[in-house]
């Protein structure tokens, strides 16, 4: 399973999102800190989930980082996160 697929599976299992998009943007960071050949280092993640209702933006991002702690420890260098509760403007 790819890192992107693992990220998607973990977030789907934990958050039951209404919308989830995971994009590997590693190619855009070639030569920058954390980049490595083969990619799987820089991701853009957009999530709309009821689990975020009532949480601040920081609390939402901390939740996602906790869920993906193993992937971060294994070499994911950057996550660009957009997190919304249902009904919030993306």
pLDDT averaged over the chain? 88
Structural domains of the chain sorted by starting position, each given as residue range(s) with its CATH number in brackets: 3-84 (3.30.300.90)
**Dihedral sign for Cα atoms in the order 85, 69, 13, 22:** positive
What token pair was written down for 75? 């070499």
Q: Are 87 and 51 in contact (CB under 8 A)?
A: no
pLDDT at 42: 81
pLDDT digits (tens, 9 = 90+) for 4-59: 999 999 999 999 999 999 999 875 655 666 556 666 778 999 999 999 999 999 99
What are the pLDDT digits (tens) for 52-68?
A: 999 999 999 999 999 99
Torsion-angle region of residue 11: left (phi > 0), alpha (psi -120 to 50) or beta?
Answer: alpha
Which residues have C-beta within 8 Å of that of residue 1, sequence separation ≥ 6? 9
Q: Is 20 left (phi over 0), alpha (psi -120 to 50) or beta?
A: beta
Model confidence pTM above 0.75: yes
pLDDT, greater one: 41 or 78? 78
């Amino acid at each position: 399973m790819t890192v992107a697929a693992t990220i998607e599976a973990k977030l789907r299992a934990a958050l039951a999102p209404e919308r989830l998009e995971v994009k590997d943007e590693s190619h855009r960071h070639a030569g920058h800190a954390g980049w490595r050949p083969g990619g799987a280092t820089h991701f853009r993640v957009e999530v709309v989930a009821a689990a975020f209702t009532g949480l601040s933006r920081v609390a939402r991002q901390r939740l996602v980082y906790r869920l993906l702690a193993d992937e971060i420890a294994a070499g994911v260098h950057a996550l660009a996160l957009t997190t919304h509760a249902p009904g919030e403007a993306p």
